[in-house]
Amino acid sequence: MADFSLKGMGVALVTPFKADKTIDFEALERLLDFHLQSGTDFLVVLGTTAETATLTHDECNQIVRFVVAHVGEKLPIVVGLGGNDTMALVEELKSFDLEGVHSLLSVTPFYTRPSQEGLYQHFKAVCEASPLPIVLYNVPARTGVNMTADTTLRIARDCKNVIGIKEAHCDMNQVKELI
């Protein structure tokens, strides 16, 4: 796999659907072509805007395989893989076809609202299982838990494959601590 960097403008792709609720791969192809021609610097596949929580494991794999086949090495591809069950997520990492993917975006566990130590242990296990670099994703308004700057920095220090964070907390002091 070619060297890559996640800088510039990344776009979180939507998942287009047909009227029968199946994935519209023709529309997805047009969307990918648009981004290939528009100066997008990297793609995020299976993020929140992709309605990932409503997709089956097989559908997620199909989407990733389609995007990788269509985009190739033209743009870095980041795939969202997260969940509130750490061990299930570790198993998913082992079974998911990540060939051609450059990095993973992994959200804090949702609903269960783990402690800061719980968040640390979750991401430590995910990072140890991941064959790819990881971008942490903190979005407390959606998950119900905020990963503090101290926890984020601890994870980044201890897990060498953490390459960044998508920080969606509205507290600018927390953002400043990370910078």
pLDDT, one tens digit per residue, over 114-170 is 999 999 999 999 999 999 999 999 999 999 999 999 999 999 999 999 999 999 988
CB < 8 Å & 24+ apart, contacts of 47-51: 47/12, 47/13, 47/80, 47/105, 48/12, 48/80, 48/107, 48/139, 48/142, 49/12, 49/13, 49/14, 50/12, 50/13, 50/14, 50/15, 50/80, 51/14, 51/15
Class of domain 10-178: alpha beta
pTM: 0.93
The single residue of 21, 137, 160, 176 carrying the catalytic annotation is: 137
Where do the structural domains in the chain lie, given as residue ranges? 10-178
The single residue of 18, 124, 166, 176 carrying the catalytic annotation is: 166
Is there a catalytic annotation at residue 137?
yes
Per-residue pLDDT, 123: 99
Per-residue pLDDT, 1: 47
The mean predicted confidence, pLDDT, of the chain is 95
For residues 19-33, average pLDDT = 98
Is there a catalytic annotation at residue 18?
no
Residue 3 has pLDDT above 80, yes or no: no
